[in-house]
Amino acid sequence: MRKFRFIHLLFLVLMGAGLQLSGKVHAGYVDYTLPTGQVRVHHSTATPANCNAILLGVGTAMSISSYDKLSDELIKHGYVAVIMDHAPGNMTKTDPAKFAALANDIKVNLSSWLSGSACSSVTHWVMGGHSAGGQAAQNAISNSLTQADAIFSIDPYNVSNAGFVNVPALYWGFDVTTCFVDKNSAAKAAYLRSQNHRAFFRVAKKYSWGPCGYSPVYFHCSFCDDHCPACTNCMNTPQHFFVDVADSVNRFILAAFTGTWSKAALTIPATTPLTLFVDGELP
């Protein structure tokens, strides 16, 4: 009876705080469900006491389970990677108000979620997203709907009419249009609509033969573990791609907050074929 009362009390406390544990606890990450959306939190033993959190909104038709490979590489650098779905069960993820609401709830709860880990406080909040989640982040941050110290987005969908952001910004995109995402309206446009320190890693166009025929090796959905629904090149993304993205994020955060901002500081020894644009350089 006492055990039942304790469990019941714990349940009421969690619900009263607006937090419902999903019951899915795994090695390296934990899933949470809030009234504003779903969250997967990744961290590792390398996470320092004062850590930086990277919040990534998911793309169209994607979920918090779609970015484990990228998260695994990010946490190797000591970051906390938070994959956020601000519209679970809904294919569309472009709403900036919903993105902001979930991001703010994460800021309120993350310290308690990290209780027992090495990280006791979050120093910087880097917010962004993939595809539609990147569009939502660009508009949310430009509208001051959420407090972000920097933005990191991966091929955000159609941000040519989004607002301007004035925090340090990092974007990854492609020199090829794929998955109905115009390369000129995605990461390139986001980079051009950033007014502070900004960097754009553009992946070169590269094709090879595979199960889907002659397809791009790197494309809009390469960031996802199993690509996107109805959009794939039928080949696994090379592991070095995730490593290169994480390395660039690490260089970006160090340059933006603790080091010297320069193109040399942002340059990575990548296997992925890349061109880096910084500040006044135009793609």
Q: Where are the domains of the chain?
A: 20-278
Query: Which of the four pLDDT bands, split at 50, 70 and 90, describes residue 19?
Result: very low
Rg (CA), the chain: 19
pTM, two decimals, is 0.90
Give pLDDT, residue 238.
Answer: 96
pLDDT of 52 over the 50 cut:
yes
Give pLDDT, residue 139.
Answer: 95
- What the block records as the tokens of 269 is 């020894």
Give pLDDT, residue 46.
Answer: 86
Give pLDDT, residue 143.
Answer: 87
Q: What percent of the chain has pLDDT over 90?
A: 85
CATH number of the 20-278 domain: 3.40.50.1820
In angstroms, the CA 2 to CA 76 distance is 42
Beta-sheet pairing, 80-85 with 37-42: antiparallel
Digit-coded pLDDT (tens) for 220-244? 999 999 999 989 999 999 999 999 9
